Each structure stands twice: as structure tokens, then as C-alpha cells.
Structure 1
């Protein structure tokens, strides 16, 4: 019994010793493999990102109409019709209001009647004149014909008298008739000349022209009873109502031209560099969520009096849908260079060596120390100006343990 117990103890000690030896051997084998695994550095990589490193430089702009006109009544009268409303788009020449003035209407009717009478009187006078001229002309021709006949007859009488065939009294009688005819012809020609120079017709024509001028004047006054839009635009104000008495010069409406619209802004002296040698500028309209084009019209040559600002005025090109309205809030974009997307990497990926900046990239399973040129920085990222491409794998985690050429394992 004691011998069996002793044998069991020996077997137990032997098994424990064997097991211990096996464990030590396995541990030694694991220790030998650790240095091999430590040769591969584990890292995390990212490609460079495109990010905006700044804000757009803008200034407040006021949207104003290109033209604003106050419409006034140019004649006195009573408003009898209003043919428009606030917010309506009207064209130049459209009738906005109608005014009634009985005195103008009466004066127009009276002048029209006077002109008609004067015209008829002139027409009749011309007919009478033409008839008188014709009769005078015919009478002169008849007298001259009679004188010619008597002169021929006198030649015959002269021959008869010389032949003592007739007495001298008969010759003298025919001479007296010729003298009387000559006198009648002379008087007739003078009357004809005076008739041709008659001023009655000319005076009547002057009177008719005066009536025409008076009619034109009263017609203009009557036309002013129709109040028309002086420009194409949008009605922004209306005053007065049907039945209201209006005085000449009294304002009745306002019209704004929205085609085109203008943008007005002021910039500081240090911002002039952003607008020099430029003709077009983006205009951000927040309420419309749109950016419109605007063309520079002018920049004031000197600061506005009492303010350190240079006035700018621009024409907004594309408001054909009439969505943009005067008074809307807008931002004039002076420069968006600082808001452009640039290549960036996390700040943690960057390290400095001898006044130069580097990052580690992974190429063909090895860490490559890469020289980079940096630009702007913020709390998280740094701008890479040169040294990297958008496809480079930049080490962003584990770079502190790396040396150039180290074998790396990229963690997913």
C-alpha cells in the first residue's frame, strides 16, 4: 500500500515537471515571434480632402429701381375712372386715370364749330375770288378785242378821210371810241391787279390757322384728362379715388422701373483691391436662395462725404421673371477666393523637421516621408499647397512611431 502511494507521488511530480517544461518551451517560442510582428507598424490613412478654409468677402447691397417716377395730374378735373392698381405692371402710355373737365370739353366743341364755319367761309370766298378773277380776265380780253377791231376800222376811216369820202367828224368819233376803250382797259388791268393782290383770303387763312393752333392747345389739355404711364414699370403708390377733385400738378401715383434693377453698395478703402479691373460681380439674394449676375456701372472716385466708403452702382442683368424686387436684402460678393475649396489634411498628420513640413504617405506598403508646402490652417485642418495629390494615402494615426521606409500595415 505504501509502495503504491509512493509510486503515485513520483508519477504526479513527473507529470507536473513535464507540463512545466512544455509551457516554458511554448512561452519561449512566443517570445521569439514578437520581434518579427513589431517590425510592421500599424497605421491609419486618409486621402486629402477638399475643404473651404475661409468665408466669402461680401458687402451689403441695396436693391433699387433703375427709375422712379411720380405721376401727377396735368389738368384740373374730377376723377371718373381708375384703371390700375398697386403692384400692376404697366407699359408706357397705358391709361391710369380718366379726369372729366366740362369747361375743356365745351371749349373744344366751340373751337371745332368755329373752325368749321371759318373753313366754309374760306372755301366760299375762294370760289367767289376765282369767279371774279375769271370774269375780270374775260372782260379785259373783250375790251382788248374791241379796241383791236376799232383800230383796224380807224385805218379804213383814215383812208376814206384822205380820199375825202367821209367827213373829219366820223374819223374823230372813232378815235374817241378807241381812247375810251384804252382807258377802260387800263382801269380793268388795275382792277385785275388789285384783285390778285386781295388780302381778304390771306386774312381768312391766318384766322383758320389761329383756330387750328387753339384747337391743338385745347386738344392737348383734353388729352391730359387721360393720365398715362410715363414709363414702363410697376405701380407702387396710388392716390385719389373716383369722384375726387384733382388740381393741376397734384401727385396721383408712383411707378418704378424694374427692368433693369440696380444694386448699390459701399466699400471701404482696403476693399478697393477686390473690385479693380472687374466688370461683373455675383449678387447673393438670400430670400430667393439665388445668386444673380450684376454688371458694374461705376465706382465713385472719392469716398462719400462724411463716410469712409466708396459708392458702387451695378446693373442686375437677369431679373426677367420679376422675382427680385427693390428693397430685398442682398450681398454683393467682392471676393470668393477665400471660400474656394482647397486640398487639406488633418493637423495631426503634419510634422516639422528642420523648418520644413512633412507628412507620411504609404506607398507599396512602406512609410514615405513627404515634403509639403502648407497654406492656411484652422483648428482641424491645414491647407496643402504642394507635395501631395488627391489620391495619396496620408498617415493620420500612428505616424509618431514611423521612420522613413518603415513597413506598415494599414488599418481598415
Structure 2
């Protein structure tokens, strides 16, 4: 019995020692890992990037042709897709009333001419006779001169009316104003056309100059400073994947659209092979090449919080915040502007709001 009691006491002592050791191991706290603040030296560089803007191709010259006078379509000389030259006859219209008006005007012109010829001859005879003193009174001569002047005015008015009707008759033949392609036809032979009413709803023809196109793009206000007259830009169109085209800036509006806050920029595009068509939507590649060097930092170095936008510098092993203005972003980099920044200044690469002014940095 004495041996059993001694063995039990020894076992109990071992169990107590083991339990105490386990308890100590469970309550021991792990040591915190030390984090190192990574810094970099601030440098200036020229940040280059690009954006894509939607644009529209248009004919360099485009015109909708309408009828000047009320008439009927007598003959169509061209159709959609026809290549036309400047001055080429496109359509012949018919207006019988104009022919009648011209005939009447021509009769009035001949009548006025005959009256003027007679009054002019009468005045000239009286003038010659009046050279003999006492033959023709001064009053009779003045009356003859007045009649001659009145008849001459009537004659000139008849001539003007005749020219006006002839001009109106000329409008019955519609010709191409420039070299181009007929891109639309909205009438057929016998259709009524005119300056008013149902016949004026649509143009007779639309003619476009497609050998050279306009590419119009609206550039947002933030990017207008990167463009200048004469710059070459490239663009693509969805219908011709894998192909890139070029154009040169020829016209800049010099003002912003009040609704879109964008500047209209136009480029001239040579299209001799006719692969590009007016109306196509294009994507213009706008390079944003900085003209001057600026401070460029990783995006992770800029903190955007309720307290403002800032970067965190390191001086005397302490954090120092510097308020900045963000510029363009490209990839993982961003431009920052501040008069307080200097070249080779040490900044925190991964900044956060927890880094307060004056706090010691972790090294």
C-alpha cells in the first residue's frame, strides 16, 4: 500500500507540471511583425498617354439640290452612285407656265422697244429743228425729251422682266455644283417639285465630294491644349478592322460648345481609293504628350480623403503631408502638381490616411 501511494503521488505531480506548461504556452502572445515603410525619390518626367474619341466622317463638300420653281420632273440624267463633274446636267424640269410668261414678256419687250425707238426719233428731229431759231418752242422740246425718257424706262423694265424669266427658266435645268458622287435621289420622272408644299419635303439629289473627307471630332476641354493646327492624327473605323488611317488637322473652332464643353476639330482625309464612306463612325486616337516635364508618382502614393488630396513625404524620420493637385493618369502613374514638391524629395510609395503628420516612420 505504501508503494502504490508513492507512485500515485509521483504521477499526480507529473500531470500538474505538464498542465502548467501547457497553460503557459497557450497564454503566450506572438510578437508583432514590424512593417517597413517603402519610399522613393520624386522625379520629373514627361507623361505620354492617349485617348480614343468618337468622330464622324463627312463629305468634304456636300449639297442638297432643290427645285427653285414649281415644276414637274421631265428627265433624270443621273442616279445614285453616278460620278458627276462640275456643271454636268443632272435633271431637267418642266414648267409650261414659264414658257408662256416668257412669250408674253418678249412681246412687251418688243412693244416697249418700238415705242422708245419712235419717241427717241421724234425727240432727235425736234432737237435738230430747234436749232433754227423760232421753229420749235422750248416747251415742246422738253415734252419730247420727257416722253423719250419715260419710254426708255419702260423699255429697260421690259428687258429686266425678260431677263428674270429667262433666269427662272434656267432653274429648270439643275447642274452639279462640283465634282462628286450622287449619294441620294428622292424623285422620279413626272413628280411635282417646288419651293413650297409637298414637293419640297426632300431634296431632288444629294451630291458629295468623296475624294476628300472631313473627319469631325469633339475634343473635351481638358484635352484641347494638346492639339494644334497641322497635327497628324490616326483613326480607325469599325467596318475595316485592323486598318489605321491618317488625317491632318485643318480647322479648329477656337471655342467650346456651351452644352458639351468641347471644341470641334476637323481633319482632312484623302480618300482616293473610296474605302471610307461619308457617315462612317470613327475612333480617333488622340495622343496626350506633355509639353513640359511634371512630377509623376505611383497612384498608390496619392491619398484621396475627406481631408483633401495629398502625398506623404519623409523628413527626419517623420511623416509630412503635402497637398497636391492630380493631373493625368496613365497605367499605375499619375501627375501631381504642388509648389512645395522638389526633385529628389523622399515620398512614401504606399501612403494611407493612418500616416499622420509628425508620426515616426517604421524602418
TM-score (norm 2): 0.54
How far 1:104 moved relative to its partner? 0.8
Task: Show the counterpart of 1:248.
Answer: 195
> Where do 1:130-209 residues align within 5 Å?
130-138=124-132, 140=133, 185=134, 188=135, 191-192=137-138, 194-198=140-144, 199-209=146-156
Cα pair distance change 1:271/1:118, threshold 3 Å: closer
Task: Answer whether contact 1:82 1:97 (CA < 8 A) is retained.
Answer: yes
Task: Show the counterpart of 1:293.
Answer: 247
Task: Answer whether contact 2:256 2:264 (CA < 8 A) is retained.
Answer: no
1:127 aligns with 2:121: yes
Task: Show the counterpart of 2:57.
Answer: 63
Task: Answer whether contact 2:54 2:283 (CA < 8 A) is retained.
Answer: yes
Counterpart among 219, 224, 235 of residue 166 in structure 2: 219
1:310 aligns with 2:257: no
Task: Answer whether contact 1:133 1:196 (CA < 8 A) is retained.
Answer: no
Counterpart among 85, 100, 103 of residue 106 in structure 1: 100
**Structure 1 SS opposite 2:204:** strand
1:35-88 CA-to-partner distances (Å, cap 9, x unmatched) read: xxxxxxxxxxxxxxxxxxx99754333212244332211111121111222123
How far 1:272 moved relative to its partner? 5.2
In 1, Cα distance between the equivalents of 2:222 and 2:76?
52
**Structure 2 SS opposite 1:240:** coil
In 1, Cα distance between the equivalents of 2:164 and 2:229?
52
In 2, Cα distance between the equivalents of 1:278 and 1:77?
47
In 2, Cα distance between the equivalents of 1:262 and 1:70?
17
Counterpart among 255, 271, 278 of residue 326 in structure 1: 278
Unaligned runs of 5+ in 1: 1-53, 141-184, 338-375, 378-412
How far 1:105 moved relative to its partner? 0.4
Cα pair distance change 1:117/1:127, threshold 3 Å: same
Cα pair distance change 1:57/1:137, threshold 3 Å: closer
Bigger Cα Rg: 1
In 2, Cα distance between the equivalents of 1:195 and 1:77?
50
Task: Answer whether contact 1:264 1:311 (CA < 8 A) is retained.
Answer: no
1:1-33 CA-to-partner distances (Å, cap 9, x unmatched) read: xxxxxxxxxxxxxxxxxxxxxxxxxxxxxxxxx
Cα pair distance change 1:193/1:89, threshold 3 Å: same
**Structure 2 SS opposite 1:85:** coil
Structure 1 segments, 4+ long, off by >6 Å, are none
In 2, Cα distance between the equivalents of 1:215 and 1:206?
14
Task: Show the counterpart of 1:335.
Answer: 287
In 2, Cα distance between the equivalents of 1:301 and 1:262?
19
Q: CA RMSD in A?
A: 3.4
1:247-281 CA-to-partner distances (Å, cap 9, x unmatched) read: 324131222343642212345566556x3456413
How far 1:242 moved relative to its partner? 1.2
Task: Answer whether contact 1:296 1:312 (CA < 8 A) is retained.
Answer: no
Whose helix fraction is larger, Structure 1's or Structure 2's? 1
Task: Show the counterpart of 2:4.
Answer: none
In 1, Cα distance between the equivalents of 2:185 and 2:164?
28
How far 1:332 moved relative to its partner? 1.9
How far 1:133 moved relative to its partner? 3.4
In 1, Cα distance between the equivalents of 2:56 and 2:208?
15
How far 1:217 moved relative to its partner? 2.0
Q: Which structure carries more relative contact order (alpha carbon 8 Å, separation 6+)?
A: 1
